[in-house]
Amino acid sequence: MVGMDRWKGKVALVTGASSGIGRATAVMLAKEGMKVAVCARRAERLQQLKKELEAGGAKVLVIPTDLQKEADIHDMWKSVRKEWGGVDVLINNAGLGWGGALVRRTDAEFRQMLEVNVLALTICIREAILDMANRDEGYIINISSMGAHSMRPGNKNVFYGGTKHAVKAITEGVRSELVERQSKTKIGMISPGIVATEIAEVGSRGRTSAAARAGTPLESDDIADIIRFMLSAHPRVQIHDVLVRPSSG
């Protein structure tokens, strides 16, 4: 079956769903008839999202989660398995990054980026593969960055870019593992340029935001549309990496 109909009634887990790309993606998947588990640290925002989606008839599971804590990550997976028996689609969206020259960043900031952008993402990939092992189809989509592919002169997000390079390597390596095992689980990555989300504002630390410098940035819905496109493709198609920039830069 081609299109989103084959995912109706199936389970999606979206990390970092309290705002930005994660929120837009959760809304899209719910509208397409999927059961959606949403996780983030800000429980009140997740509850508001749940209220909005349930008003439209969606089934939503809220799981407040701090992805810097391994115990929280494992509790998140226990919750979705207890409620719905595991996941069919994983959207690894959560991420953080601090802007500014490397020498101005702290040990704690390096650790935060590693824990969320790399370690939590990798644990979630592993757990999703275990859930999807006995399913007819599964899809893992990692939200990466154009920083995974190039470091332009003047780039002030060096360590963040390094974590996204790691995501690129992990995604490619896992894809090879899945192909070797003849698994029905697919894995892909979306590498956006500047998107008008809170991470662009937080990373700028009060300076002129990256989104503003980019002219007209991408919107969160643009990335959600690409996720829909990836999930809608024929089962024989694996869209491995989508690079997307604003048309203005």
Distances (CA, A) of 207 to 1, 145, 200, 204: 48, 21, 10, 5
Residue 249 falls inside a structural domain: no
Residue 140 falls inside a structural domain: yes
Give pLDDT, residue 155.
Answer: 62
Give pLDDT, residue 201.
Answer: 43
Give pLDDT, residue 156.
Answer: 66
What CATH number corresponds to the domain at position 46?
3.40.50.720
Give pLDDT, residue 199.
Answer: 56
Residue 60 falls inside a structural domain: yes
Residue 113 falls inside a structural domain: yes
Give pLDDT, residue 211.
Answer: 45
Annotated active-site residue in 132, 160, 204, 209: 160
Give pLDDT, residue 239.
Answer: 93
Give me the average pLDDT of each 10-residue run along the chain (249 residues). 90 97 98 98 96 97 97 98 98 90 90 96 98 95 90 72 94 97 96 79 43 71 97 93 87
The verdict on whether 160 is a catalytic residue reads yes
By the 10 Å C-beta count (0-12 exposed, 13-18 middle, 19+ buried), 62 is classed as buried
Domain that holds residue 56: 4-244
Query: Could you tell me if 209 and 201 are in contact, meaning their C-beta atoms sit under 8 angstroms apart?
Result: yes
Residue 120 falls inside a structural domain: yes
Work out the end-to-end distance of the chain between its first and last CA atoms, rounded to an integer number of angstroms: 37
Give pLDDT, residue 209.
Answer: 47
For the chain, the domain total comes to: 1
How does DSSP classify residue 237? -
Query: What Rg, from alpha-carbon coordinates, does the chain have?
Result: 17
Residue 171 falls inside a structural domain: yes
Both structure tokens of 191: 């590498």
Residue 82 falls inside a structural domain: yes
How does DSSP classify residue 96? -
Give pLDDT, residue 103.
Answer: 86
Give pLDDT, residue 154.
Answer: 56
Give pLDDT, residue 197.
Answer: 73
Cα gap 191→111, rounded to integer Å: 22
Residue partners of 51: CB distance under 8 A and separation at least 6: none
